Chain A
Amino acid sequence: MIITQVLPLALGAFALALLLAAWRLLIGPGMPDRILALDTLYINSLALLVLAGLQYGTTLYFEVALVISMLGFVGTVVLSKFLSHGDIAE
């Protein structure tokens, strides 16, 4: 079966993508770069969870991925608002 050989490869690719985003999070010269790196981190970890669900044959991870996508979006919006307005809710 091809998919059983492809899935570990794809999991490795997503892990590498997470590492690259984490590197940008560490060095990234400005605050917007760090927020963008966090945004990429949550999107990639969401895809990694869905792939892990494929690998183990369980639907348990969908709810986790859905919650991560919602909270990650809220986090990005709040951090950007804080940078541009100095306040979260005005």
Chain B
Amino acid sequence: MTIEDLPLWLDLLLSALVIIGAFFALVGSWGLAKLSDFLKRLHGPTKASTLGVGCVLIASSIWFSIGLRTFSVHEFLITLFLFLTAPVSAHLLVKSAMHLDSSIRPPPPGATKDAKGNASPSSSSTE
């Protein structure tokens, strides 16, 4: 079985997964290029790395499992590794960004900003 003679349901499923993956990767990179703030920019590529790459890897796994008639688990290895490492790298990136510029830290809930822009707890929340 080659990629030209798939049954219709498999064709539709693979096409949908590939389209969804490509859409999320494009949206993630678009957000990375367009958003205004580092913490906002960090938000975009995480969607791309989980949903986008995840959908593409699932599509590849289904196609090679059915097309080659061998159970293909390489993709799940990559997916598992990406899902494990994406939060760690995002956490380390935010830590280094806050170390370089501590003014990007958002104020805690219920706090008011003073004139210098530093967050200070309001009087009502300290009671």
Contact = CB atoms under 8 A, between A and B. Distances in A.
Interface of A: 1-4, 6-7, 9-10, 13-14, 16-18, 20-21, 23-24, 30-33, 35-37, 39-40, 43-44, 46-47, 50-51, 53-54, 57, 59, 62-63, 65-66, 69-70, 73, 76-77, 80-81, 83-84
A54 B6 CA distance: 13
B15 interface: yes
Contacts of A57: 2-3, 67
B45 to A, nearest CB: 4
Contacts of A44: 25, 29, 48, 53
14 contacts: A1-B3, A10-B18, A10-B19, A10-B22, A17-B26, A32-B97, A32-B100, A47-B53, A50-B78, A62-B74, A62-B75, A66-B74, A83-B96, A84-B92
A20 B77 CA distance: 27
- Chief secondary structure at chain B's binding surface: helix
A30 B11 contact: no
- Chief secondary structure at chain A's binding surface: helix
B29 A39 contact: no
Given A3-B3, A33-B38, A47 B25 contact: yes
B63 to A, nearest CB: 6
Contacts of A77: 88-89, 92
Given A24-B33, A47-B52, A69-B81, A80 B74 contact: no
Contacts of A21: 29, 32-33, 45
A73 B85 contact: yes
B105 interface: no
Given A66-B81, A80-B89, A54 B25 contact: no
